[in-house]
Amino acid sequence: MQAMQRQREILARARHDGRVDVVGLATDLGVAPETVRRDLRLLADRGVVQRVHGGAYPVESAGFETELSQRESSFVGEKRRIAHAAAGLLDGAETVYVDEGVTPQLVAEALEPEGPVTVVTSSLQTGVSLAQRPDVTVLLLGGRVRGRTLATVDHWATSMLGDLVIDLAILGANGVSRQHGLTTPDPAVAAVKGLVVERSRRRIFVGLSKKFGVSSFCRFAQISDFEALVTDTGLSTNDAHRYAALGPQVMRA
C-alpha cells in the first residue's frame, strides 16, 4: 500500500471510529508502528487529525462532522464531569442559552437554579429533555433543523436571538485554539453561535480537551469572550495556564 493510500485509509478509519491507535493500525495495515506515527504526523500537519498519546482523533472540518450517535456514546464520563462543573457556574442567571451538542445538553440537565429559569436553545434534544421540568421555561429557536445535530439554524434562529438579552450562554465548539479562537465547520452554525456571544452577558465554553489546539472552518468567538472554559483533565496544566492567560478561568473536571 502506497503512503497516500495508507493515509487515506487511516483518516477514513479515524472518522468512522472516532479514534485510531498506532498499534492497531500497524497490525491491520501490515506496517511498522513508526510508519503509522509518521503518517499521523503528516495528517496532523494537514489539520485533519489531532495527535494524542498512542493515536489520533479526527478533526471536524467543513467537509466532515462526527455523527450525533457517535457523540452521544463517546467520552460520556468526561462529558458528565464537565457538565456538573459548569452547572455550578449558574450564579443566579435567570435566562440561559444552551448550545447544540451533547455536553451543553448535559449541563442544562444538571442545572439546579434557585428559582425559575428560562432556557433558550437551538437543540431539539435539549428542549425535549427540559420541557417537563417545573422550574424551567424552554424557548426553542425556530429555523432549519440540521439532521447531523438536531439543532436549528438560519435566519429564523438568528432573528429570534436578535431580540433577546441572555444572562448566561453555555456554548460548545468543534475547535478551540489560542490563535483562531472558537470554531465550527458550518457557517450557519457559526452565525447562531456568534450572535449568542453578542447577545449574552456571560459566556462559558464546555467541551472535551481533545478540542483544544484544533481549528475548524468558521470562527465565532475569541477566547477572551469567555469567563470560563470547562474541560476535562486531558488538558495539561501548562496548556490550561496558556489559555487562562487570555482571560478566562480554565476548569479541568
Q: Please, which pLDDT band fits residue 70 given cuts at 50, 70 and 90?
A: low
225, part of any domain: yes
My answer on whether 54 and 103 are in the same domain is no
β-pairing verdict for 175-177 and 181-184 = antiparallel
Domain count, the chain: 2
Same domain, 36 and 118: no
Query: Does residue 86 fall inside a structural domain?
Result: yes
SS3 call for 173: coil
Residue 63 in domain: no
Q: 157 with 203, same domain?
A: yes
**214-230 mean pLDDT:** 96
Cβ burial, residue 133 (10 Å; 0-12/13-18/19+): middle
Quick check: 71 pLDDT over 70?
no
Per-residue pLDDT averaged across 24-33, rounded? 91
Average pLDDT, the chain: 93
User: Using CA atoms, how far apart are residues 177 and 219, in angstroms rounded to an integer?
Assistant: 10
CATH code for the domain in which residue 143 is found: 3.40.50.1360
Q: What is the mean pLDDT of residues 145-155?
A: 95
Q: Is the pLDDT confidence value at 236 over 90?
A: yes
- Condensed to tens digits (0 to 9), the pLDDT of residues 114-134 reads 999 999 999 999 999 999 999
Say whether both 51 and 72 belong to one domain: no
- pLDDT digits 0-9 by tens, 177-220: 999 999 999 999 999 999 999 999 999 999 999 999 999 899 99
Mean pLDDT of 12-18: 86
**Whole-number pLDDT of residue 231:** 98
In whole angstroms, give the CA distance from residue 184 to residue 167. Answer: 23
The answer to whether residues 107 and 50 belong to one domain is no
Looking up residue 39, the CATH number of its domain turns out to be: 1.10.10.10
Burial of 60: CB neighbours in 10 Å, binned 0-12, 13-18, 19+:
buried
Which letter, b or e, does each residue of 215-227 get, where b requires 16 or more Cβ atoms within 10 Å of its Cβ? bbbbbbbebebbb
Note whether residue 234 is domain-resident. yes
Residues 26 and 95 in one domain: no
Domain final residue, candidates 36, 58, 80: 58
- 113 belongs to a structural domain: yes
Pair 20, 45 in one domain: yes
- Residue 122 sits in the same domain as residue 38: no
User: Looking at the structure, do residues 53 and 86 belong to the same domain, yes or no?
Assistant: no
The C-alpha atoms of residue 169 and residue 193 are separated, in whole angstroms, by 10
pLDDT recorded at residue 73 = 63
Question: What's the longest Cα–Cα distance across the chain?
Answer: 62
Q: How far is CA 6 from CA 22, 91, 222, in A?
A: 13, 51, 36
Shared domain for 129 and 187, answered yes or no, is yes
Q: What is the pLDDT of residue 144?
A: 97
Range of the domain at 83: 68-252
* 2, pLDDT greater than 80: yes
Q: Which pLDDT band, with edges at 50, 70 and 90, does 97 fall under?
A: very high
Q: Residue 145 phi/psi, 5° resolution?
A: -90, 120
Same domain, 80 and 199: yes
